[in-house]
Amino acid sequence: MSESKNNTSATKDSFPNILVIDDEPLIRETLKEFLIQEGFKVICASSGEEGIKLATNKRFEICLCDLQLSGMDGIGFLQELQRISPEVFVVMITAYATVENAVEAFKRGAQDYLIKPIILAELSEKLKRLLEQKRLALENQWLRKELNRIYPETKLIGKSQVMRQTIELATKVAPTRLTILLTGESGTGKELLARVIHNGGDSGSSNPKEFPSKFLAVNCAAIPHDLLENQLFGHKKGAFTGADKDQNGVFMHAGKGTVFLDEIAELPLATQAKLLRAIELKEILPVGANEPITVEARILAATNKDLQKEVEAGRFREDLFYRLNVVAITIPPLRNRMEDIPELVEYLLDKHAKAMGKRFIGVNHEAMQILMACPWKGNVRELENVLQRAIILSDGPLISPMDLPPGLAPAISEFVLTDGLDEAVKRFEKTHIELVLNQNPDKREAAKKLKIALSSLYRRMTELGIAT
């Protein structure tokens, strides 16, 4: 092997992990010595089986693997590695007589190959190129996730009268540039409604669907007060220690888009004054700046508190309250629109089942009865969490009461209101037994909990149609 004079200084700071697999000790040690000099962390294996064990327990950026290995060969290793760690870039090592195998390795997912005897300068260039490809791939993946996060599918579910009124009002104000205050309990979907309003009034370009304007959400309760003002309005170079350059805040980044201020009641009084100026005069003053900057972003705010009471308590500026409250939209809690639950369940079940790669056609009658009778103190967010849990635990294709968290079962009276007495008693008995079995998979223990004999439990399960 010839020596390389190149120095991959770009990789020395990050110290990427490289896995070397070759059954010839001299090649392994030569590659390891060279790669360590080039700034890599190197682990060696003498077989494909050993390499798989290492890749299972440790993350590698690149793997160098000989095609001709005893036991599991290079192609077999490549296939197994793609199953357990598909993000690893693989370079196959081959002899002149087996170049056709290198072509086969490309078909199976390898990124490059080396021909023996290995020229170290060539290896160095290949590694630099592959690391750059990997960096770009990760960057593209991150950008795609960011786009999905900023512009997710937005859909308001609800045919109840109160929800129809909410949607109708949101549709009317969406095309305007009015400041809107969204109120409602935690978990009702205030940010989702804000995104719907933003999308309905998108005027960021002549073709909003192709070039959507930005929607930037800031949770005022999640950011420390001393950082929140900088986050919103930015700062000028030299404004404080460490401010070595100008930094734009959310209002500047949003452009003509929307700034959504969640938990607006948690905004400090000093920052409230700056926000008032941004609403009234459409200008902001970055930290350390002497001149204001004009901004165009639309402001949507949300809170689960009574802002009028916050004003009376001196925790919220009255003038800002009136500026925010130009149009107020209240999202009703889920308990006030129970007729929307079946449609919500269908939508959320389909959404999360697809994300998990499972197939569900819905929930059975008994499970729906339970879902319809729950108080849902956490609103739609709680319902969504319950369904996600059910999808994970259930084998499908229908969600049953056994898949729901313990404690969701309604009181007997709620069944009596909807069914005849005999049917209601049977339905409650079935639901109660299923919930006890869910908590106690051992049927002997379940029978003790129910204070009946084990034979009686099996008989009742058969009569009520509970899977044994």
Provide CB contacts within 8 A for 314, sequence distance 6+. none
Tokens representing 200?
């309905």
The highest-confidence range among 63-72, 181-190, 196-205, by mean pLDDT, is: 181-190
Residue range 192-218: mean pLDDT, rounded: 69
3-state secondary structure of 65: strand
Residue range 66-90: mean pLDDT, rounded: 85
3-state secondary structure of 251: helix
Class of domain 336-464: mainly alpha
**Could you tell me if 399 and 360 are in contact, meaning their C-beta atoms sit under 8 angstroms apart?**
yes
**Could you tell me if 367 and 330 are in contact, meaning their C-beta atoms sit under 8 angstroms apart?**
no
Say how far apart CA 367 and CA 352 lie, in whole Å. Answer: 18
Locate the DSSP E strands across 186-274: 215-219, 258-262
Signed CA dihedral, 169, 174, 177, 179: sign only: positive
Instruction: Kindly list the domain boundaries of the chain, sorted by start residue.
Output: 9-147, 161-331, 336-464
Bridging pattern class, strands 327-330 and 215-219: unpaired
Residue range 124-151: mean pLDDT, rounded: 68
pLDDT at residue 457, as a whole number: 87
- Tell me: pLDDT of 382 over 60: yes
Say how far apart CA 22 and CA 350 lie, in whole Å. Answer: 47
Of the pLDDT bands very low, low, confident and very high (cuts 50, 70, 90), residue 152 is very low
Of the pLDDT bands very low, low, confident and very high (cuts 50, 70, 90), residue 412 is very low
Class of domain 9-147: alpha beta
Say how far apart CA 66 and CA 140 lie, in whole Å. Answer: 30
Say how far apart CA 375 and CA 278 lie, in whole Å. Answer: 40
**Could you tell me if 73 and 48 are in contact, meaning their C-beta atoms sit under 8 angstroms apart?**
yes
Provide CB contacts within 8 A for 358, sequence distance 6+. 391, 396
Task: Give 267 or 407, the one with higher predicted confidence.
Answer: 267
- Tell me: pLDDT of 147 over 50: no
Say how far apart CA 266 and CA 301 lie, in whole Å. Answer: 11
- H-assigned helices in 109-175: 120-150, 161-173
- Tell me: pLDDT of 272 over 70: yes
- Tell me: pLDDT of 311 over 80: yes
pLDDT at residue 352, as a whole number: 87
Task: Return left, alpha or beta for 65; rule: phi > 0 is left, psi -120 to 50 is alpha, else beta.
Answer: beta
Tokens representing 54?
């290492």
- The 215-219 sheet, strands edge to edge: 215-219, 258-262, 298-303, 180-183, 327-330
pTM above 0.85? no
Provide CB contacts within 8 A for 26, sequence distance 6+. none
**Could you give the percent of the chain with pLDDT greater than 70?**
84
Tokens representing 252?
């500047």
Residue range 437-456: mean pLDDT, rounded: 83
- Tell me: pLDDT of 383 over 90: yes
**Could you tell me if 275 and 283 are in contact, meaning their C-beta atoms sit under 8 angstroms apart?**
no
Say how far apart CA 55 and CA 153 lie, in whole Å. Answer: 36
State phi, psi for 328 to the nearest 5 degrees: -115, 130
3-state secondary structure of 360: coil
Of the pLDDT bands very low, low, confident and very high (cuts 50, 70, 90), residue 293 is confident
Calculate the dihedral angle through the C-alpha atoms of 16, 21, 27, 31, rounding to the nearest 10 degrees. 0
Q: What topology is assigned to 161-331 in CATH?
A: Rossmann fold (3.40.50)
Task: Give 19 or 286, the one with higher predicted confidence.
Answer: 19
pLDDT at residue 209, as a whole number: 45
- Tell me: pLDDT of 57 over 60: yes
pLDDT at residue 58, as a whole number: 80
3-state secondary structure of 302: strand
- Tell me: pLDDT of 315 over 70: yes
Beta-bridge partners for 74: none
- Tell me: pLDDT of 395 over 80: no
Say how far apart CA 276 and CA 48 lie, in whole Å. Answer: 65
- Tell me: pLDDT of 439 over 80: no
Residues in the chain, total: 468
3-state secondary structure of 381: helix
Measured CA distances, 375 to 4, 164, 166, 208 (Å): 70, 21, 21, 40
Task: Give 422 or 417, the one with higher predicted confidence.
Answer: 422
Residue showing tokens 């592959």:
130
Say how far apart CA 54 and CA 40 lie, in whole Å. Answer: 17
Closest CA to 172 of 155, 196, 151: 196
**Could you tell me if 233 and 274 are in contact, meaning their C-beta atoms sit under 8 angstroms apart?**
yes
pLDDT at residue 19, as a whole number: 93
Tell me whether domains 9-147 and 161-331 share a fold: yes
- Tell me: pLDDT of 141 over 60: no
Residue range 233-255: mean pLDDT, rounded: 79
Of the pLDDT bands very low, low, confident and very high (cuts 50, 70, 90), residue 102 is low
Beta-bridge partners for 294: 283
**Could you tell me if 68 and 24 are in contact, meaning their C-beta atoms sit under 8 angstroms apart?**
no
Residue range 442-449: mean pLDDT, rounded: 85
- Tell me: pLDDT of 334 over 70: yes
